[in-house]
């Protein structure tokens, strides 16, 4: 079974590109387009990783991360923020909010998958899910 990654983004282009790159590497992708969908997807899918945008409808990425980090069943799942927030201090603020990684948009298609895989707690091989 392939490892599952939940991608949370409301931008069609960003979602498509992230999904394409990760599926090409062999991951199973579950999409969420807002904060509520993100929480539901993580609870139902038990992914190995969450790729999370910060600017989302209904709940911000910060709120999603906080909710997931406070839940014992999801707290150990790494959260990598992929965002256009690139001002001084944004990276530090995101990491201080309990996220494990930070990648600036627009993503680099040549390095995106390897950047994301750095945060997988298990082997980067998509041979099996959690």
Tell me the pLDDT band of 84, cut-offs 50, 70 and 90.
confident
pTM over 0.85: yes
Q: Give the pLDDT confidence score for residue 122 in this predicted structure.
A: 47
Instruction: Please report, for the chain, the start and end positions of each structural domain, with discontinuous segments joined by +.
Output: 4-117
4-117: CATH class = alpha beta
Query: Does the pLDDT at position 30 exceed 90?
Result: yes
**C-alpha 21 chain-centroid distance:** 13
The pLDDT of 38-48, averaged and rounded, is 98
The pLDDT of 95-107, averaged and rounded, is 92
The pLDDT of 19-44, averaged and rounded, is 98
Proportion of the chain above pLDDT 70, given as a percent: 92
């Amino acid at each position: 079974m392939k490892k599952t990654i939940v991608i949370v983004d409301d931008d069609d282009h960003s979602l498509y590109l992230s999904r394409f790159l990760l599926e090409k590497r062999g991951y199973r992708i579950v999409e969420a387009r807002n904060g509520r969908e993100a929480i539901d997807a993580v609870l139902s899918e038990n992914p190995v990783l969450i790729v999370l945008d910060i600017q989302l409808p209904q709940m911000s990425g910060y709120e999603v991360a906080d909710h997931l980090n406070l839940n014992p069943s999801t707290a150990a799942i790494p959260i990598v923020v992929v965002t256009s927030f690139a001002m001084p201090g944004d990276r530090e603020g995101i990491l201080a909010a309990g996220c494990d990684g930070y990648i600036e948009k627009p993503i680099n298609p040549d390095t995106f998958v390897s950047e994301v895989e750095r945060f997988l707690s298990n082997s980067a091989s998509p041979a099996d899910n959690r």
